[in-house]
């Protein structure tokens, strides 16, 4: 299986990274973005790693979530050949 990031997920990753850059810590922004991407790529080995996302369950589209550390959540869907990351955000 292959992990694919949606345009929205990539945009949200850039926003997270840019937040740290604006606040004077570009290295941390890059590190956080790499950590989020690294965790998402682990889904290739275990696509059902995260639980069903309760907040999106009513859509019936099989959204799952993966918590990265304590601050970031990756929302994704599992299909036959791909894992689509649809969103990434700060849970604070």
The ranges assigned to domains in the chain are 2-90
Its pTM stands at: 0.92
Q: Does domain 2-90 bear CATH number 3.30.2310.20?
A: yes
What residues contact 41, with CB distance under 8 A and at least 6 apart?
Answer: 3
Q: Residue 16: which of 72, 83, 86, 64 has the closest Cα?
A: 72
The whole-number pLDDT of residue 58 equals 94
Spell out the per-residue pLDDT of the chain, length 92, in tens.
899 999 999 999 999 999 999 998 899 999 999 999 999 999 999 999 999 999 999 999 999 999 998 899 999 999 999 999 999 999 98
Specify the residue for token string 């589209």. 61
The whole-number pLDDT of residue 18 equals 95
In angstroms, the CA 84 to CA 47 distance is 10
In the chain, DSSP assigns E strands to: 2-5, 64-68, 72-78, 82-90
């Amino acid at each position: 299986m292959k992990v694919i990031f949606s345009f929205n997920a990539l945009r949200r990753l850039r926003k997270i990274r840019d937040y740290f850059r604006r606040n004077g810590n570009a290295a941390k922004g890059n590190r956080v973005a790499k950590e989020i991407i690294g965790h998402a790529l682990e889904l290739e080995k275990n696509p059902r790693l995260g639980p069903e996302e309760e907040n999106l369950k009513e859509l019936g589209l099989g959204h799952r979530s993966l918590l990265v550390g304590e601050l970031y959540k990756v929302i994704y869907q599992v299909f036959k050949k791909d894992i689509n990351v649809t969103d990434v955000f700060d849970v604070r």
